[in-house]
């Protein structure tokens, strides 16, 4: 078993044991590499952030399977932390779900999140999110469970039914997802702490809480989430919201003053950032092969 497979297995064991875990959201390679420097058990590729950073578009069903699986593969290739990735609705019908699960797993993801929205889907904390029939949604989860090669590849089943159909319907769907074999249940966008408590009291399975600053669900402390009964506190947008605020501050300062001199916004150290991006490998390569183009073989040993 490779080191990545061992870490993936450890994440699966941790979540199935319902050990509370905070997962940060990454949305492109800088955020993924930074998250990877911390000792998180896993990281999460946010669909909202990936679509915004890659395409400059809203998370409204505009990204394709190809767009997303390529992001998964690139993040996995350049990080060591197990990655759980947003798989939206599976990008079509049951055959598409099979193709998506195979593709995400082959790309190296440690798990996939699938939701029951009608295509084209929308961000889970925006209004007007119709859902497919419970039968269709359950079939997708069953296909996903049946398709994966390893049981360490986690299937996270999300329902957005709370938005238009109420919490009871969302709970009914989550129960059906559990019976279909989902590893983790995700009832999206409860609107009060009381609803969050009711969700956790309804299931004995690992549960995910989506903590979106400015969204529909109260953002609680780790202890509060754990005491309520959640296994995963997911923070998909915190990174890109911080990024947006910092960029507005920096660009605003340059626009006003014509320079970055006197900037109050904290900046990363350039040399440290260069090392994070892998420049040490470039420098080592150049040192090894210095003079090779001039026929100096001694430096190529």
75, 24 Cβ separation under 8 angstroms: no
CATH 3.20.20.60 segments of the chain:
3-236
The CA-based angle 34-48-146, given to 5 degrees, is 95
Nearest to 236 by CA among 39, 89, 84: 84
Residue 296's pLDDT is what? 62
The CA-based angle 49-252-46, given to 5 degrees, is 5
pTM score, whole prediction? 0.93
Residue 145's pLDDT is what? 98
Beta bridge partners of 173: none
Residue 242's pLDDT is what? 97
235, 35 Cβ separation under 8 angstroms: no
- CA–CA separation, 136 vs 232, rounded Å? 26
End-to-end Cα distance, the chain: 33
Q: Strand 111-115's sheet: what is its strand order?
A: 184-187, 154-159, 111-115, 83-86, 43-45, 21-26, 232-235, 208-210
Residue 123's pLDDT is what? 82
Q: What does 214-263 look like in DSSP terms, one character per residue?
A: TSSSPP--HHHHHHHT-SEEEESSHHHHHHHHHHHHHHHHHHHHSSSTT-
- CA–CA separation, 193 vs 190, rounded Å? 8
Which positions of the chain have pLDDT values less than 70? 124, 295-301
pLDDT digits (tens, 9 = 90+) for 198-225: 999 999 999 999 999 999 999 999 999 9
Please tell me the class of the 3-236 domain. alpha beta
- CA–CA separation, 245 vs 143, rounded Å? 41
């Amino acid at each position: 078993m490779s080191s990545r497979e061992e870490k993936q297995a450890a994440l699966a064991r941790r979540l199935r044991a319902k050990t509370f875990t905070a997962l940060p959201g990454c949305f492109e390679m800088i955020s993924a590499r930074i998250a990877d420097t911390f000792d998180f058990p896993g990281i999460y590729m946010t669909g909202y952030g990936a679509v915004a950073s890659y395409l400059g578009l809203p998370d409204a069903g505009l990204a394709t399977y190809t767009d997303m699986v390529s992001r998964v593969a690139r993040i996995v290739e350049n990080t060591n932390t197990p990655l759980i990735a947003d798989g939206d609705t599976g990008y079509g019908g049951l055959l598409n779900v099979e193709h998506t699960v195979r593709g995400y797993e082959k790309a190296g993801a440690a798990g996939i999140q699938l939701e029951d929205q009608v295509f084209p889907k929308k961000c889970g904390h925006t209004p007007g999110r119709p859902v497919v029939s419970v039968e269709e949604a359950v079939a997708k989860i069953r296909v996903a469970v049946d398709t994966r090669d390893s049981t360490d590849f986690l299937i996270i089943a999300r329902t957005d039914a709370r938005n238009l159909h109420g919490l009871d319907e969302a709970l009914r769907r989550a129960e059906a997802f559990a019976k279909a074999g989902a590893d983790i249940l995700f009832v999206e966008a409860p609107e009060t702490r009381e609803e969050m408590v009711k969700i956790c009291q309804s299931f004995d399975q690992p549960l995910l809480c989506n903590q979106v600053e400015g969204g529909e669900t109260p953002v609680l402390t780790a202890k509060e989430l754990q005491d309520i009964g959640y296994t995963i506190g997911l923070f998909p947008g915190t990174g890109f919201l911080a990024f947006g605020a910092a960029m507005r501050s920096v660009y605003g300062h340059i626009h006003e003053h014509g320079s970055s001199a006197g900037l109050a916004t904290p900046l990363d150290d350039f040399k440290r950032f260069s090392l994070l991006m892998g420049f040490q490998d470039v420098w080592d390569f150049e040192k090894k092969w210095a003079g090779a183009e001039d026929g100096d073989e001694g430096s190529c040993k």
